[in-house]
């Protein structure tokens, strides 16, 4: 279906296919008061390009109800495993059930569960970055989902594992759940309601401290983060709410997330984030949205440039805010407003251009090699992010 | 043959195929007296899951007698090269000869040469872990094998290389050989006799000390190892013997291995290990065994679950002991008894569940970050290991 | 065309193919006066084998004028990205234009632009190693090329990016250009003229110093390098000239390169290198050369061994000299003469054997863990390099 080859054994039971993605990003920041200590050292006003994601995967089925996948991330010089699983699926009267064993992209939230191939902007919203994605975007363990017959689903996952091979302490324990429902779905008009949450234990040897550094204006600039509290964490609990809607060429989404981190030495730290986004498809098609999984996805492209058309064009705006102020554990806050343009040339190629006006107010630096002032106190500026993307 | 696609050029001379494996393991240990120094620090009683192996390979032939293969291991965040070679093979009157140039899985012993896809348990026996696999499971250099016409083979390999690119000293020199013969092979009844050995030189700059940490009850738990001597090694010599047999649904195997490490400062350290295992196929098929290579392999699966059957079920038991006691260089000892169940759903999927009752008696810790007591002195406990495996 | 499978979607617009290479090298050095400080420590007279390159790639087109490629290097335990790009090409009246976005093998010089699959020797010449390849062999950013209708081309590239994901400073800025022309091309006789150059800015935080260590007699031996100046670099500028020719079974090439590095604290360092090589195809075919790109490439192989022939045999010689003498910044010098044999069995397999007689005169060591004498002062010796290569 995606255009890449898929093979099958003579009896058709074993199948084997390939996929991949390239996301090549550019970023430039200006206006920060942290403009370099001596010359170009420790400046937030930096520019450049990087490969955000370079992925290859193989996937298929072993026999009718059993699936497998190996996906690897190549962009960071180390090999990253992403989806690596065995799965079994079954059709029931009330819907479809599926069980994954291994590493599976987590069902964390509306933006959090959206594939990086189809997020509206170059990065997910702050609720995903700072709350529901904090324990990692991949669940290593057992992941289950049930897709109902009426535009709804519920998932439940237990994680106690990692992809690293040197194990000198128990893996952290994490449970996650998410559900969504589309009470309205006329095809043209869709309403999305969702809720999500997780609970995580911290093994003191494996992860002695909860540390938080959240993307506010694109992932490229590592000096530009909202730094949260540092907590000698015992466990953490999170919950989130999702509201979204589509009507013809218009789409909107809003999310709220809350995270509580309990300290071993007593007390707790609290983080929260919210985000809202609106979009309009200039070329008239609906935004991509899956009523099965309750996530954003590839939109319809009525006139691909490869058929002489102009592709699918969207303009969109987003506001997001992070608040992790904490006297004892030292969290900061920040917010950003982003305006962007999305151009799908065809289903394989896409360009994004977006500008974020941001503010941060950090209390401490958790960045190794940070400057003496730690990018602390009030700062604001402007960041332009761009992406060229190929998906196959 | 394995179900994955294989391609060939129009003249049929160039071929190209894919393969892979996923091994997702779980492990939990209890009963060790090393139960954590302060809370959860440095405990042997840990639990969790990990990807033991995630591999992809491409292989094929360049033209009729010339073969190639590139296999990579993805589970450890660094890229590991496994089989990466050019090979030439030729049929003679007395058998088949093959020469590999590059990196080739070493013909180290009965369990040592068995692919991790087809070992009876989640890990190889202690003879492989502590003796014949110590210089590494892959031979980088020249590997030759001759497969006779009468269920016998002999191999010889010279290693002087690595897959690392920063070379500031000479590569270690290693020679290896192994031979097997099946004096009885009625199809239903098979007797296996084998012998193996190696000699290795140590470059003082590249590997100043011989260090040994052997798996006794599963690879997951890095705190649970039998630590051997630390020797300022000049060279080492090893030899081993193999005895195995199959009779209908029954199979058994036994191995002995001996390793001598010569010190540059005089004297030597001695390690030895032995292991015996028995198995019964509940569903009646023979255990998988190759009379060509003298190794365990994929068994027959008469009724795969994917054809409505119950798959191939085996129960098996194993005992293994390591002894590297040494006053001067400080080796320890340990032994373990394992009971397990093996379930081949079909030729692609397999589950293993096994329980090991183990004892260790270490004299020193060679683990970075080990506790002050170094997991030394007598300890015993119980470890359950499980595996879900996909091979394609 | 290369024999590996290529797939296409039903409408033929989306294509997808695989490729790879294995280069397994051996090397042994003798005659150096740095023969080890205590036993085998810090000797230049070392021997061994390594995987020089192990690469896999996927590539194809998304639709008629849009191409993509992902190539990864597996030989160094970390994942290296090589060609990873989106590209668009278009035919004009005067020639063919192409634009690459992402990471593209740089058009740096005659030897520098030649694929490692088709270089005459196991390593490129000193002009590529010490001058035009210094800023990296891959251009991350925008690369353009125009291939004229009359055996000529010009390229221009802007680089400001990396494949690393932790960005705490701006990426370095680099511009590159190269052009070639074949004023004579009778098919049998070809004359090559070329010129190349680049300008690079240094971000002080990202790359505080210009450091240079050049291969003079094969890449294996990391102790055997010509170490150049260490400069607190502000920017650097390079230019180079190329002259080559083919006449029947004879081929020759010569290159000169100059590099100037400006210090932030004032003054500059100067490096230069030149190289000349001659070759004769014993079996009579022409050497491989592309009049489109102005590079060496796969030669004709009239009688592959796989058709009962003897393959394509070449003998060749090369001289190269590096001069980076600098009182203030401490550069050294060196030169080498190499004699070699090249045997293409068929278009997939090739063997190289070459011997280099070399001299180095280093002034400082820039190698971590170098001996106290730093391999400094006059030294000479002999290095034999060999390669077994598979390309598919």
**Over the stretch C189-241, which tens digit does the pLDDT of each residue have?**
999 999 999 999 998 888 889 999 999 999 999 999 999 999 999 999 999 99
Residue that is written with structure tokens 């991790």 in the block: B116
Task: Say whether residue A205 is in contact with chain B using an 8 A CB cutoff.
Answer: yes
List of chain C residues whose C-beta atoms are within 8 Å of the C-beta of residue B64: 306
Q: What is the pLDDT of residue A18?
A: 87
Residue A320 near residue A125, CB atoms below 8 Å: yes
Write a three-state SS string for B188-204.
Answer: CEEEEEEEEEEEEECCC
Mean pLDDT (whole number) for A108-133: 97
* Tens digit of each residue's pLDDT (9 = 90 or more) over B105-125: 999 999 999 999 999 999 999
Alpha-carbon gap: C283 to the closest alpha carbon of chain B (Å):
21
* Smallest Cα distance from A349 to chain C, Å: 8
Query: Which pairs with CB-CB distance under 8 Å and at least 24 residues apart come from C337-342?
Result: C338/C121, C338/C217, C339/C315, C340/C120, C340/C121, C340/C315, C340/C316, C341/C313, C341/C314, C341/C315, C341/C316, C342/C120, C342/C279, C342/C312, C342/C313, C342/C314, C342/C315, C342/C316
With beta carbons less than 8 A apart as the criterion, state whether C109 and C129 touch: no
The chain C residue lying nearest A57, using CA atoms, is C58
CATH code for the structural domain at C6-391: 2.40.160.10
User: Do C75 and B68 make contact, defined as CB atoms within 8 angstroms?
Assistant: no
**C223 contacts on B by Cβ (under 8 Å):** 168
Q: Exposure of A372 by Cβ count < 10 A (0-12 exposed, 13-18 middle, 19+ buried)?
A: exposed
Residues in chain B: 392
User: Sign of dihedral through CA atoms A170, C79, B139, C348?
Assistant: positive
Distances (CA, A) of A259 to A133, A214, A240, B7, C311: 11, 13, 9, 52, 68
Cα(B355)–Cα(C89) distance, rounded to whole angstroms?
61
Q: What is the mean pLDDT of chain A?
A: 92
> Residue A6 in 3-state DSSP?
strand
For residue B211, give how far its alpha carbon lies from the nearest alpha carbon of chain C (Å): 20
Place of tokens 């129009």: B10
Buried b (16+ CB within 10 A) or exposed e, B38-47: eebebbbbbb
3-state secondary structure of B302: coil
Q: Provide the token pair at B141.
A: 């250099």
Is the Cβ–Cβ distance between C313 and C305 less than 8 Å? no
Nearest chain A Cα to C171, which residue? A48
Q: Which residues of A touch B51 (CB under 8 A)?
A: 81, 84, 102-103, 163, 165
At A4, is the pLDDT very low, low, confident or very high (cuts 50, 70, 90)?
Answer: low
Beta strands C377-391 and C312-323 are: unpaired
**Which residues does chain C have with pLDDT short of 70?**
1-5, 37-40, 164-165, 366-373
* pLDDT tens digit sequence for A240-285: 999 999 999 999 999 999 999 999 999 999 999 999 999 999 999 9
Contact A13 B306 (CB under 8 A): yes
Strands B95-105 and B78-91 turn out to be: antiparallel
| Adjacent-strand bridge partners of B376 | B362
Q: How many residues does chain C have?
A: 392
- Tell me the range of A3-7, A332-336, B207-211 where mean pLDDT is highest: A332-336
Asked if A22 and C72 count as a contact pair (C-beta separation under 8 A), the reply is no
Tokens 């960045």 belong to residue: A367
Q: Give the residue extent of every domain in chain B.
A: 18-391
Look at residues B284, B283, B301 and name the one whose alpha carbon lies nearest to residue B349: B301
B18-391 belongs to CATH 2.40.160.10: yes
Task: State residue C1's pLDDT score.
Answer: 41
User: Inter-chain contact A50–C164, Cβ cutoff 8 Å?
Assistant: yes
The pLDDT of residue A1 is 41
Q: Is the pLDDT of residue A298 over 80?
A: yes
Closest chain C CA to residue B79:
C77
A141 touching B (Cβ < 8 Å): yes
Which residue matches tokens 């994901």?
C165
CA torsion angle C334 C339 C345 C349 (round to 10): -10
Q: For residues C283 and C288, what is the distance between their CA atoms, to the nearest angstrom? A: 13
* Rounded distance between C-alpha atoms, residue C51 and residue B171, angstroms: 13
Tell me the two tokens of residue A27: 């970023």
Enumerate the β-bridge partners of residue A221. C167
Instruction: Please answer whether residues B154 and B179 qualify as being in contact, where contact means their C-beta atoms are separated by less than 8 angstroms.
Output: yes
The span from the CA of B269 to the CA of A14, in Å, is: 51
* Tokens describing residue C122: 């196991």
> Along the 392 residues of chain B, how does pLDDT read in single tens digits?
455 667 777 777 788 888 999 999 999 999 999 988 666 678 999 999 999 999 999 999 888 888 999 999 999 888 899 999 999 999 999 999 999 999 999 999 999 999 999 999 999 999 999 999 999 999 999 999 999 999 999 999 999 987 766 788 889 999 999 999 999 999 999 999 999 999 999 988 888 899 999 999 999 999 999 999 999 999 999 999 999 999 999 999 999 999 999 999 999 999 999 999 999 999 999 999 999 999 999 999 999 988 889 999 999 999 999 999 888 898 899 999 999 999 999 999 999 999 999 999 998 876 655 666 678 999 999 999 999 999 98
Do the Cβ atoms of A350 and A20 come closer than 8 Å?
A: no
Cβ atoms C95, C120 nearer than 8 A:
no
Tokens of residue C94, six digits: 């005067």
Helices (H), chain B: 110-113, 126-127
Length of chain A: 392
* Tens-digit pLDDT profile for residues B364-384: 876 655 666 678 999 999 999
**From CA C183, how far away is CA C150, in angstroms rounded?**
9
**Does the structure's ipTM exceed the value 0.95?**
no
| A334-340 own/partner pairs: CB under 8 Å, 24+ apart | A334/A214, A334/A216, A334/A226, A334/A358, A334/A359, A334/A360, A334/A361, A334/A362, A335/A216, A335/A359, A336/A126, A336/A216, A336/A217, A338/A121, A338/A217, A339/A315, A340/A120, A340/A121, A340/A315, A340/A316
CA distance C177 to chain B (A): 30
Q: Is C303 on the interface with B (CB under 8 A)?
A: no
**Under a CB-based contact definition with an 8 Å cutoff, are residues A296 and A266 in contact?**
no
Would you give the DSSP letter of residue A208?
-
Q: Note whether A352 and A121 are within 8 A (CB).
A: yes
3-state secondary structure of A126: helix
Which residues face C174 on adjacent strands?
C159, C200
Neighbour-count burial of A210, counting CB atoms closer than 10 A to its CB (0-12 exposed, 13-18 middle, 19+ buried): buried
C-beta separation of B360 from B320 below 8 A: no
Integer Cα distance of A154 and A138 in angstroms:
17
pLDDT of residue C40: 60
- Chain B within 8 Å of C296 (Cβ-Cβ)? no
Instruction: For residue A39, give how far its alpha carbon lies from the nearest alpha carbon of chain C (Å).
Output: 8
Query: Is 90 exceeded by the pLDDT of residue A78?
Result: no
Whole-number Å distance between alpha carbons of B175 and B196: 11
Best residue in C14, C58, C73, C172 for a mutation probing chain A (most A CBs within 10 Å): C14
**Cβ–Cβ below 8 Å for C392 and B68:** yes
Residue B303 φ/ψ, nearest 5 degrees: -130, 80
Q: How far apart are CA A38 and CA B349, in angstroms?
A: 59
Local structure of residue C305 (DSSP, 8 states) = G
């Amino acid at each position: 279906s995606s255009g890449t080859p898929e093979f099958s054994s003579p009896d058709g039971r074993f199948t084997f296919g390939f996929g991949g993605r390239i996301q090549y990003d550019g970023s430039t920041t200006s206006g920060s008061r942290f403009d370099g200590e001596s010359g170009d050292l420790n400046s937030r006003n930096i520019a450049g390009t990087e490969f955000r994601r370079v992925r290859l995967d193989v996937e298929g089925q072993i026999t009718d109800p059993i699936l497998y996948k190996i996906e690897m991330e190549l962009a960071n010089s180390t090999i990253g495993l992403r989806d690596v699983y065995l799965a079994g699926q079954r059709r029931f009267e009330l819907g479809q059930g599926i069980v994954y064993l291994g590493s599976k992209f987590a069902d964390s939230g509306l933006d959090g569960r959206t594939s990086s191939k189809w997020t509206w902007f170059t990065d997910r919203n702050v609720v995903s970055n700072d709350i529901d994605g904090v324990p990692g975007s991949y669940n290593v363990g057992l992941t289950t989902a049930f897709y109902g017959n009426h535009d709804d689903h519920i998932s439940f996952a237990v994680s106690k594992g990692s992809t690293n091979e040197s194990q000198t302490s128990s893996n952290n324990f994490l449970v996650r759940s998410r559900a969504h429902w589309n009470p309205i779905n006329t095809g043209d008009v869709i309403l999305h309601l969702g809720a999500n949450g997780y609970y995580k234990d911290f093994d003191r040897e494996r992860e002695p401290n909860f540390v938080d550094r959240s993307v506010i204006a694109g992932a490229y600039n590592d000096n530009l983060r909202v730094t949260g509290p540092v907590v000698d964490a015992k466990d953490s609990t999170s919950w989130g709410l999702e509201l979204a809607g589509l009507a013809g060429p218009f789409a909107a989404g809003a999310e709220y997330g809350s995270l509580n981190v309990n300290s071993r030495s007593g007390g707790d730290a609290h983080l929260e984030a919210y985000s809202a986004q609106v979009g309009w498809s200039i070329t008239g098609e609906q935004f991509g949205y899956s009523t099965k999984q309750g996530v954003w996805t590839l939109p319809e492209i009525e006139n691909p440039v490869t058929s002489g058309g102009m592709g699918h064009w969207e303009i969109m705006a987003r506001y997001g805010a992070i608040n992790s102020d904490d006297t004892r554990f030292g969290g900061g806050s920040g917010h950003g407003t982003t305006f962007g343009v999305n151009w799908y040339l065809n289903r394989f190629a896409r360009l994004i251009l977006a500008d974020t006006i941001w503010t941060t107010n950090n209390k401490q630096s958790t960045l190794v090699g940070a400057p003496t002032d730690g990018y602390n106190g009030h700062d604001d500026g402007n960041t332009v992010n761009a992406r060229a993307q190929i998906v196959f």
